[in-house]
């Protein structure tokens, strides 16, 4: 794919290079299941045609019809089984949910095309070229699991011939990002998944979840999801750079966030951007207009009544996060996941509004308070991850009850060998026996990875002096001025290091087949 693209782009045949990349991306997509390639083609053709109609003559009924058609397609493939199951539970009609295979990436390309229709109606779509539109939707680095791209940022790049010329810096940075992302997936995420899977399977089966076992599963999965998604985001941006295209940033050390607001600004950033632009902001705008029409004054900065806060902040936040939860999957556990994070965000926004009203510092510069805020936010995320991973709500509640000690505590005999630990266990009446899933080696691995996540720079920070994500400026990192090696440079030393890491990762991936990326299921 890359060689063919470079041959065409290097000879100045930009359109042919774009066509080659589009066709290759469709082959890449069809490798999973060719039967859904026609569905993708029909969806692209219909939305492109409808977008052209909306550009020429904006029509709200036509826009709503297009959005409804996209949503109905998504609902049929993703939610039919869940809706039939709910209807059966309510009516007792003994209905059987049909077995419908979810087309790969349908959630991602549906959101992108809805945004295209909305912007076409609003006059925000400049270019209307079918080949570039197809490449915008099918570009294989982001097609399967994001980032969710915006038509304006991608179409402008596809129209620029300079982006199609092979460049050494793009290739070296792109290859580095790809190798590092694959390393996160194969070396960190997959082993953690192997530890988390049996714990959640036992919770689903109704087995008791002692404290250490429950926390082993919850923390292992939370870190698995972190490194799996972070790794895919790096690989997607790296692959895009190999073809001269910058993808938007999608991951920015979210576990370093001191509050849940910043967490969502750093986690799946393009999804947050889409939900904010096309759901949250319109809801706030509608509520604001209704308030103005009713003759009510707009709130002054730092001054907001409870009713105004509920109308302008809480209700739009709940609606947006509920949609986010349902988007991630069909099941009550995803509904609760969305509701839980909505609750977190409402509380966080209310607390910030109260601090602003009192004139207090919004974000503490005290390292102890900051660390406590980061840890609190992380624990809230872990609780949400339990619902995100569990097969159903009872399994999630089984895990959570174990995490708070309601199903007993088993202390590993290895830990009981330490006199102080043994004495504390005897005082508390803790049973000394081998837990089913907790092992000190796994606990040490989780602790080291958390230390790594909380202290080390991310890949964007390491490569901050070179083009990576689209229009992205990484946050400064405290290690940059301490260790010069914290900033990547194209040099023989780094080339050898990345080459060795890449060889090791590929050898490991071929010896132990890596699992699918977690966001493939969405």
CB of 239 closer than 8 Å to CB of 180? no
The three-class DSSP label of residue 410 is strand
Higher pLDDT, 381 or 9: 381
Most confident stretch, 75-84, 87-96, 442-451 = 442-451
In the structure, what pLDDT confidence band is assigned to residue 96 with cuts at 50, 70 and 90? confident
DSSP 8-state secondary structure symbol assigned to residue 475: P
Dist. CA 477–CA 483, nearest whole Å: 11
pLDDT of 486 > 70? The answer is no
Taking 90 as the threshold, does the pLDDT of residue 391 lie above it? yes
- In a 13 Å sphere around the CA of 197, the CA atoms on its Cβ side amount to 8
- The pLDDT tens digits for 202-219 are 999 999 999 999 999 999
316, 286 Cβ separation under 8 angstroms: no
Q: What gap in Å lies between CA 34 and CA 32, rounded to an integer? A: 7
Min mean pLDDT across 271-275, 399-403, 431-435, 445-449 is at 431-435
What is the Cα–Cα distance from 83 to 510, expressed in whole angstroms? 40
Out of 121, 328, 341, 477, pick the active-site residue. 328
CA-to-CA distance for 442 and 359, rounded, in angstroms? 45
The C-alpha atoms of residue 95 and residue 92 are separated, in whole angstroms, by: 8
For residue 308 the two structure tokens come to 């105004």
pLDDT of residue 508: 87
Q: What is the pLDDT of residue 302?
A: 61
Q: What is the DSSP letter of 167?
A: -
pLDDT tens for each residue of 313-344? 899 999 999 999 999 988 999 999 999 999 99
Nearest residue to 242 via CA among 326, 323, 177: 177
- Kind and range of the H or E run holding 411: strand 410-411
At 254-307, the pLDDT tens digits run 999 999 999 999 999 999 999 999 999 999 999 888 888 888 777 776 677 788
* Token pair recorded at residue 349: 């926004």
Q: Where are the domains of the chain?
A: 2-166
Instruction: Please give the pLDDT value at position 273.
Output: 93
Classify residue 189 by its DSSP letter: I
Which 3-state string (H, E, C) describes 256-288?
Answer: HCCCHHHHHHHECHHHHHHHHHHHHHHHHHHHH
Instruction: Tell me the percentage of the chain whose pLDDT exceeds 70.
Output: 97
Q: Looking at residue 49, what is its pLDDT?
A: 95
How far from chain centre, in Å, is Cα 421?
A: 39
Sign of the CA dihedral with 173 first, then 178, 183, and 184 last: positive
* Dist. CA 458–CA 509, nearest whole Å: 23
**In angstroms, rounded to a whole number, what is the distance separating the alpha carbons of residues 246 and 141?**
11
Q: Distance between CA atoms of 365 and 363, rounded to whole angstroms? A: 6
The single residue listed with the structure tokens 């011939």 is: 161
Active site includes 328?
yes
Residue 214: the pLDDT is 96
Bridge partners, residue 267, by sequence: 251
pLDDT bracket for residue 485 (50, 70, 90)? low
Looking at the chain, the whole-number percentage of residues with pLDDT higher than 90 is 55
* DSSP annotation of 431: E
The predicted structure's pLDDT at residue 339: 96
pLDDT at 305: 78
| pLDDT value at residue 452 | 94
Which structure tokens are listed for 118? 């909305």
pLDDT at 45 over 80: yes
* Average pLDDT of every residue of the chain: 89
Dihedral of CA atoms 262, 267, 273, 275 in degrees, nearest 10, equals -100
């Amino acid at each position: 794919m890359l060689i063919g693209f470079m041959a065409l782009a290097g000879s100045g045949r930009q359109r042919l290079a774009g066509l080659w990349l589009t066709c290759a991306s469709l082959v890449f997509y069809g490798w999973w299941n060719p039967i859904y390639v026609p569905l993708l083609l029909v969806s692209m053709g219909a939305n492109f045609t409808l977008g052209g109609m909306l550009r020429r003559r904006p029509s709200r009924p036509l826009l709503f019809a297009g959005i409804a058609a996209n949503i109905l397609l998504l609902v049929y493939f993703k939610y039919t089984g869940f809706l039939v199951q709910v209807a059966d539970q309510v009516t007792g009609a003994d209905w059987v949910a049909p077995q419908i295979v979810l087309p790969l990436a349908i959630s991602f390309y549906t959101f992108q095309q809805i945004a295209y229709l909305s912007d076409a109606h609003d006059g925000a779509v400049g270019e209307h070229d079918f080949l570039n539109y197809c490449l915008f939707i099918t570009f294989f680095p982001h097609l399967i699991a994001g980032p969710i791209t915006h038509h304006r940022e991608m179409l402008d790049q596809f129209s620029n011939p300079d982006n199609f010329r092979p460049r050494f810096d793009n290739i070296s940075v792109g290859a580095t990002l790809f190798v590092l992302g694959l390393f996160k997936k194969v070396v960190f995420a997959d082993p953690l998944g192997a530890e988390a899977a049996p714990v959640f399977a036992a919770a689903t089966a109704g087995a008791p979840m002692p404290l250490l076992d429950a926390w082993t599963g919850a923390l292992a999965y939370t870190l698995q999801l972190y490194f799996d998604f972070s790794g895919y985001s790096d690989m997607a941006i790296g692959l895009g750079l190999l073809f001269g295209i910058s993808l938007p940033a999608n991951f920015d050390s979210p576990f370093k966030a001191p509050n849940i607001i910043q967490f969502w600004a750093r986690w799946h950033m393009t999804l947050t951007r889409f939900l904010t632009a096309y759901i949250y902001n319109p809801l706030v705008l509608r509520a604001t207009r209704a308030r103005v029409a009713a003759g009510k004054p707009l709130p002054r900065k730092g001054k907001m009544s409870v009713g105004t806060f509920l109308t302008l902040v809480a209700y739009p936040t709940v609606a947006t996060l509920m949609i986010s939860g349902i988007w991630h999957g069909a099941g009550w556990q995803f509904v609760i996941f969305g509701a839980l994070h909505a609750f977190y965000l409402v509380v966080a926004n209310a607390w910030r509004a109260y601090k602003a009203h009192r004139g207090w510092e919004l974000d503490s510069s005290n390292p102890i308070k900051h660390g406590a805020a980061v840890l609190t936010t992380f624990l809230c995320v872990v609780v949400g991850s339990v619902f995100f991973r569990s097969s159903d709500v009872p399994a999630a509640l089984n895990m959570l009850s174990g995490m708070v000690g309601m199903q007993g505590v088993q202390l590993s005999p290895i830990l009981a060998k330490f006199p102080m630990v043994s004495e504390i266990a005897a005082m508390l009446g803790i049973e000394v026996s081998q837990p089913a899933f907790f092992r000190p080696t796994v606990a040490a691995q989780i602790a080291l990875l958390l230390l790594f996540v909380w202290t080390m720079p991310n890949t964007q920070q390491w490569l901050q002096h070179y083009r990576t994500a689209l229009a992205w400026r990484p946050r400064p990192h405290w290690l940059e001025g301490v260790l010069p090696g914290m900033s990547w440079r194209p040099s023989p030393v780094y080339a050898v290091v990345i080459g060795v890491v890449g060889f090791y990762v590929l050898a490991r991936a071929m010896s132990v087949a890596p699992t699918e990326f977690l966001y493939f299921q969405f």
